[in-house]
Amino acid sequence: MSELPFDPLLVAIVTPLALALLIALGLPKRWSVRLAYVAFGVPLLLALHTWWHFSAVEQADGYAFLRTYDTGLTGLGISLKLGLNGISMPLFLMAAIVGLAAGLYAIQSGAERLKIYLMLLLIMQGGLLGVFASVDVFFFYFFHELALIPTFIMVGIWGGRDRNYAAMKLTIYLTIGAMISLVGLIALYVKSGAGSFDLIVLKRHLAANPLEVTWQNNIFGLLIFGFGVLVSLWPFHTWAPLGYGAAPSSAAMLHAGVLKKFGLYGLIQVALPLLPAGLGHWAHPLAWLAVIGNVLIVGLVTMAQRDLKQMIGYSSVMHMGYAFLGIAAGSAVGIGGVVLMMVAHGLSVALLFLLATSVHHRTHTFAMDEMGGLALRAPVLAALFVAGTFASIGLPGFANFWGELAIFVALWSFSPVITVLAIAGVVISAIYGLRAAARVFFGQPTDHFNEVATRHPPADLRWAERIPALLLLAALFGIGLWPKSLSEPINEALAPAPQIARQSR
Amino acid sequence: MTLEEVRLAAADNLWSAIAPELILASLALVLLVLEMVLPKRHHGLIPDIASAGILGTLLGLFLNWHPVTLGTETFSGLLQHSVTGQVMRAFFLLAALFTCLLARITLARQPMPRVEFYHVLLVVTAAMMLLVQANHFLMLFVALETLTIGLYILVSYLRTTTASLEAGLKYLVMGALSSGLLLFGIVLLYGVTGNPALPLHSGNAMHYEELGLFLTGNPDNFLASLGIVLVLAGVAFKIGAFPFQVWVPDVYQGAPTPVTAFLAVASKGAGFAVLLALCGPQGPFTPYAWLVMPILTAMAGATILFGNIAALTQHNVKRLIGLSGVAHAGFLLLGVVAAAGSPMAVGAVYFYLFAYLLASFAVFGVMAHVAGTDDAGQELDHYAGLSRQSPFLATVLAVGLGSLAGIPPLAGFMGKLFVFIAAFQAGARWLLLIAAAGVVVSIYYYFGWIKAAFFDAWTPPAETTAPAKPAGTPVGWVAGLSLGTLALASIVLGFYQGPLGQWLMLW
């Protein structure tokens, strides 16, 4: 049963968008919530289907499930082309998992104006799935923006402290990033001379007639900084902790977990194969920015955080540094490690944001100084949080371990000095991760916590909160124990990359 | 001139070629007659008749989209009929239709006679439709003056409010100055082209083609250069491009909201159609690209920066949209600059204009509903809590502003994308970077507006009184339907461009 009577990718993208449209047209709340389970669930089922049958289905140009739809822009070489290759399939699957978890968590959150909240989340989910399923660079960008807009609105309406400021800052930074990368993509489109935004056509065309090296370098630079802002490359990262600190949990889960990977994915899927000379030019500056800025400086800043959500936000900035390092290393091992790490980080950061909000419901604060001893009252929450922290640190057994390991291996042949510095970062992340878990859940309950606990006795995680958390943890664990299920397609997709690079030299 | 000569000259006066314009003009007269004939209690019908007439003309235009005159010149070369001309006719008719809609909402709050408004609006629309098909400086100037004089009246229409009168005066002075510059430029070009001492001189010197031929033969004539610069300056006034944008904020603020919308959309559209006809790929100024392009390039960059930066600090929404309109003029100028080196630039400019029309009227429609009797004093604070009071208006506003800001998946994004691609193809890379920076800046104020409507602001403590908000107008079904259509069209055009791209010859 590997052949579905419909295009699984299109249906996965359209289902959440269709429900969002229905809600906008005035679907009653009861039905909105019921259908939301379906609209978040269907993409996951379809994503699992594509993952399971990935190696079995026929592949054209490295892509499976390839379909093309005309949207009236074929004259410009733009068409909605959907397909998955070994790099996008794991991310597509991850987007579907995190999406379902974020959706489930949102439904139980009982947010004010829940219908609009769900509608925006559904739009975001549709966009996210579209990003990873698009083979056309135009639609890749298009879906990213589609997913980005709801983030701003959700931060602005449902956000916490400083939400107006955070929403504004987020909007401006991310627009800067998006505009720079848009200029880069336009430059790529025009300069390639292929007259098409189709990644497969571009790849073929540029393999036959590569761009001049200066142009490759310039466009690569635009993409690095454009995408870099979106992925919170140091020093353009300040929007991230602030934005995540203010964002409502489901939006933070989807943005930090999935949407932020857009930039990295763009570098891997678009910039590296199409502009092979650009990496050689930019690898060292990028690697130093990432290791000194993202890993060490932001790592130390993370250690100093007292706010749980801000800390998770900073830690995600720090982990992006490893991803940039893997890209800078450039070898198939390093890039493969980055893809694996993107999946793992997406799952683990979403898990941590989810649990942080659950902690907040029980302690009524994000300040870690005012917490303590929650493990006695909520042992399941404590266990899940500790597991999530272990995953985030990169303990063996979790998916993150394999990603980071591969990155470090690749990095060693790139630059041993940077590798040593990067590994020092792991120690930093272990310190802040474990210290946070210890402060929040163990030790003596503080006065604040006792006071809150007497007024609202904290209960353990309800099943409605447990299920999305367990879903994420199960995925982390599953990949950790069986990385081959994802790494094999990734390797296949990356295998031809060096050949293209060689031809173009 | 004997009768026979007149008959010969009039041989290609194909009146059917300008049927839409004639219909509008006669409808304008009919409205005045109706005002006298109809009893006073039925005067409310007159705006409906005007709207229905515009809608009918629009339908007629679509039914006869490929008239026999397409691609030919009529009226001894005064007019030239092309597909882009058809598209722009539809553009002005749409703009006039939505302006009528806004006027029904806004003017209902003002103690003003209403019939003349629609009368003048129809005449101005007809003049704009002729203007974009002009192929001769005489036609250009007559049409331009007709519409400018009509706009003087419309801008100062609320003659009991000082803001509107002030705006009218400013527009009059500035408009007269720009008309003077334009006319002086035309005269210089006419004089030098008709000079028998120069090669390729022509007796029909105001005709674009003849002028183009002459300019090709004399590629560095000083008087001709001066004339071109003056003509460009005159047009730059109309589109509100730097450094001729000073009138924009005051006039946009003081003019009645529907007129502001009409100025922003239709007047700008007309200016760009003229600019493309003159400086576009087949325009008469092409041989002077060495002069025209640097001017337009500098103008585009400065306009983008000025419009966006000046809009940042505005709290009055009419000023804000006026200055953001200046920025849009800059983006459109970028498209005009690109027209020299990119085959898709002209289509991109027209597409941008359509996206701008849809988005602007959506925003103006919301403004018309939110505003109270003080038409000039519409502040950002008045939008606080709009998303709770009227989710519909708030959504339309968000779509409109999003499209103006150029956020995918809305039409405005596609417009910017097309213009940017064209600019890159034409090699205007620095300008492109300025434009990209401009987009980022524009996000700040568009988003600030959306923020005012959607996000709950900090409310002052109970003892201080909350800022008074105007009562606003409830959304009627016609207005609701129209605004919904506008918002939906902005979304659909972002996803699917369909035949519009082919009409505009984007590819």
Task: Quote the minimal CA–CA distance from A148 to chain B in Å.
Answer: 10
Residues with Cβ < 8 Å from A150, sequence gap 6 or more?
Answer: A120, A121, A123, A124, A127, A251
Which has the closest alpha carbon to B263: B238, B288, B230?
B238
Can you give the pLDDT at residue B230?
93
Q: What is the pLDDT of residues A337-364, one digit of tens each?
A: 888 888 889 889 898 888 888 888 877 7
Q: How far is CA B305 from CA A46, B240, B243, B269, B311, in A?
A: 47, 13, 12, 20, 10
Task: Return the sign of the alpha-carbon dihedral for residues B428, B430, B433, B439.
Answer: negative
Which has the closest alpha carbon to B466: B382, B396, B343?
B382
Alpha-carbon distance of B348 to B336, in angstroms, equals 9
Of A93-97, A491-495, B109-113, B200-204, where does mean pLDDT reach its minimum?
B109-113
Helices (H), A193-275: 199-208, 213-230, 239-246, 249-254, 261-266, 272-274
Q: What is the pLDDT of residues A287-328, one digit of tens each?
A: 888 888 888 888 888 888 888 888 888 988 988 888 898 888
Find which of A138, A183, A196, A230 to mutate to test the B interface (most B CBs within 10 Å of its CB): A183
CB A274 within 8 A of CB A197: no
Tokens representing A309 are 């959500």
Helices (H), A74-162: 88-109, 114-133, 137-158
Chain B: residue nearest A76 by CA?
Answer: B507
CB B210 within 8 A of CB B77: no
Contact of A18 with chain B, judged by CB distance below 8 Å, is answered with: no
Task: Return the sign of the alpha-carbon dihedral for residues B114, B115, B117, B118.
Answer: positive
pLDDT band at B185 (very low <50, low <70, confident <90, very high): very high
Contact of A76 with chain B, judged by CB distance below 8 Å, is answered with: yes
Inter-chain residue contact A149 with B407, CB threshold 8 Å: yes
Cα A46 from chain centre: 19
- Which among A71, A72, A153 has the least Cβ separation from residue B454? A153
Can you give the pLDDT at residue B506?
57
Task: Quote the minimal CA–CA distance from A442 to chain B in Å.
Answer: 37
Find which of A153, A161, A173, A185 to mutate to test the B interface (most B CBs within 10 Å of its CB): A153
- CB count within 10 Å of CB B198 equals 16
Which has the closest alpha carbon to A132: A243, A264, A328?
A264
Alpha-carbon distance of B135 to B81, in angstroms, equals 9
Is B305 a residue whose pLDDT tops 50? yes
CB B226 within 8 A of CB B184: no
What one-character-per-residue DSSP string does A421-482 give? HHHHHHHHHHHHHHHHHHHHHSSPPPHHHHHHHHHSPPP---HHHHHHHHHHHHHHHHHHH-
Alpha-carbon distance of A367 to B103, in angstroms, equals 55
- Which among A24, A141, A172 has the least Cβ separation from residue B443? A172
H-helix or E-strand containing A169?
A: helix A163-192
Can you give the pLDDT at residue B186?
92
Q: How far is CA A193 from CA A197, A471, B134, B243, in A?
A: 10, 45, 37, 37
pLDDT band at B501 (very low <50, low <70, confident <90, very high): low
Alpha-carbon distance of B441 to B434, in angstroms, equals 11
Q: Tell me chain B's radius of gyration from C-alpha atoms.
A: 22
B305-310 long-range contacts (CB < 8 A, ≥24 apart) are B305/B330, B305/B434, B305/B437, B305/B438, B306/B242, B306/B245, B306/B330, B307/B242, B307/B245, B307/B438, B308/B438, B308/B441, B308/B442, B308/B445, B309/B441, B310/B249
- Summarize the confidence of residues B333-339 as an average pLDDT: 90
Q: Which of A18-22, A411-415, B267-271 has the highest mean pLDDT?
A: B267-271
Can you give the pLDDT at residue B457?
56
Alpha-carbon distance of B448 to B454, in angstroms, equals 10
CB pairs under 8 A between A and B: 81
- Summarize the confidence of residues A55-83 as an average pLDDT: 78
- Which among A72, A172, A187 has the least Cβ separation from residue B424? A187
CB B292 within 8 A of CB B232: yes
pLDDT band at A496 (very low <50, low <70, confident <90, very high): low
A493 residue type, one letter: A
Task: Quote the minimal CA–CA distance from A165 to chain B in Å.
Answer: 11
Spans of all domains in chain A: 8-504
For chain B, the average pLDDT equals 86
Alpha-carbon distance of B250 to B247, in angstroms, equals 6
Which has the closest alpha carbon to B264: B277, B249, B279?
B249
Q: What is the pLDDT of residues B450-497, one digit of tens each?
A: 888 877 655 544 444 455 667 677 777 888 888 888 888 888 888 777
pLDDT band at B356 (very low <50, low <70, confident <90, very high): very high
H-helix or E-strand containing A68?
A: strand A64-69
Chain B: residue nearest A174 by CA?
Answer: B440
Inter-chain residue contact A182 with B501, CB threshold 8 Å: no
Give ipTM to 2 decimals.
Answer: 0.78
Task: Quote the minimal CA–CA distance from B451 to chain A in Å.
Answer: 7
- Residues on chain B bordering chain A, Cβ-to-Cβ distance under 8 angstroms: 344, 395, 402, 407-409, 413, 417, 420-421, 424-425, 432-433, 436-437, 439-440, 443-444, 447-448, 451, 454-457, 495-498, 501-502, 506-507
- Summarize the confidence of residues A188-196 as an average pLDDT: 82
Q: What is the pLDDT of residues B258-283, one digit of tens each?
A: 999 999 999 999 999 999 889 888 88
Percent of chain B residues past pLDDT 70, beyond the cut: 94
The length of chain A in residues reads 505
- CB count within 10 Å of CB B366 equals 30
Contact of A72 with chain B, judged by CB distance below 8 Å, is answered with: yes
For chain A, the average pLDDT equals 83
Task: Quote the minimal CA–CA distance from A49 to chain B in Å.
Answer: 28
User: What is the phi-psi region of residue B473: left when phi exceeds 0, alpha when psi lies from -120 to 50, beta otherwise?
Assistant: beta
Angle of CA points A333, A339, A345, to nearest 5°: 125
Q: Which of A258-272, B119-133, B441-455, B470-484 has the highest mean pLDDT?
A: B119-133
Inter-chain residue contact B444 with A186, CB threshold 8 Å: no
Inter-chain residue contact B497 with A153, CB threshold 8 Å: no
CB B268 within 8 A of CB B325: yes
Spans of all domains in chain B: 13-460+469-503
Find which of B331, B344, B383, B440 to mutate to test the A interface (most A CBs within 10 Å of its CB): B440
CB B449 within 8 A of CB B324: no
Alpha-carbon distance of A234 to A320, in angstroms, equals 10
Q: How far is CA B216 from CA B60, B201, B232, B295, B506, in A?
A: 40, 11, 18, 19, 27
Task: Quote the minimal CA–CA distance from A116 to chain B in Å.
Answer: 11
Inter-chain residue contact A75 with B420, CB threshold 8 Å: no
CB A106 within 8 A of CB A7: no
H-helix or E-strand containing A80?
A: strand A80-84
- Summarize the confidence of residues B408-430 as an average pLDDT: 86
A65 DSSP assignment: E
Angle of CA points B152, B157, B158, to nearest 5°: 140
Is A154 a residue whose pLDDT tops 80? yes
Task: Quote the minimal CA–CA distance from B319 to chain A in Å.
Answer: 21
Task: Return the sign of the alpha-carbon dihedral for residues A299, A257, A248, A445.
Answer: negative
Q: CA end-to-end span of chain A, whole Å?
A: 44
Largest CA distance in chain B: 85
- Summarize the confidence of residues B412-418 as an average pLDDT: 88
The length of chain B in residues reads 507
A84 beta partners: A64
Inter-chain residue contact B506 with A153, CB threshold 8 Å: no
- Summarize the confidence of residues B191-200 as an average pLDDT: 85
A60: phi then psi, degrees, rounded to nearest 5: -115, 125
Inter-chain residue contact A164 with B451, CB threshold 8 Å: yes
What one-character-per-residue DSSP string does A264-317 give? HHHIIIIIHHH-HHHHHHHHHHHHHIIIIIIIIIHHHHHHT--BHHHHHHHHHH
A63: phi then psi, degrees, rounded to nearest 5: -110, 140
Provide the CB-side half-sphere exposure for A482 (13 A, CA). Answer: 4
Task: Quote the minimal CA–CA distance from B344 to chain A in Å.
Answer: 10
B218: phi then psi, degrees, rounded to nearest 5: -125, 75
